[in-house]
Amino acid sequence: MPEERSRRPTAVIIAALEGVVIMCRVEQSTAPMEATAVEVHDLPAHALRDRPDQGQAPRP
């Protein structure tokens, strides 16, 4: 994935992880981390699937 294209999904993953750490502390639970991990797990795969060189238009 080109560096320019990788910045957005990377920023989303970092923001999600930083936010979920706060949520875990507030709730004194790992449940938010577990739920977020499930959602974040597929983000890189989706970003790679939508690559322009795969014959698909890039997503906004």
Report yes or no on 57 lying in a domain: no
DSSP state of 54: G
Is residue 47 within 8 Å of 5, Cβ to Cβ?
yes
DSSP state of 53: G
The per-residue pLDDT for 20 is: 96
The per-residue pLDDT for 45 is: 78
| Position 32 confidence tier, pLDDT thresholds 50, 70, 90 | very high
Is residue 44 within 8 Å of 16, Cβ to Cβ?
no
Report yes or no on 58 lying in a domain: no
Residue 43 structural domain = 3-50
Report yes or no on 17 lying in a domain: yes
pLDDT tens digits for range 37-52: 988 888 877 777 766 6
As for how many domains the chain has, the answer is 1
What is the pTM for the complete model shown?
Answer: 0.64
The per-residue pLDDT for 2 is: 79
Report yes or no on 56 lying in a domain: no
Report yes or no on 13 lying in a domain: yes
51 Cβ partners below 8 Å, 6+ apart? Answer: 1, 5, 58
Report yes or no on 60 lying in a domain: no
> Average pLDDT over the chain, rounded to whole?
83
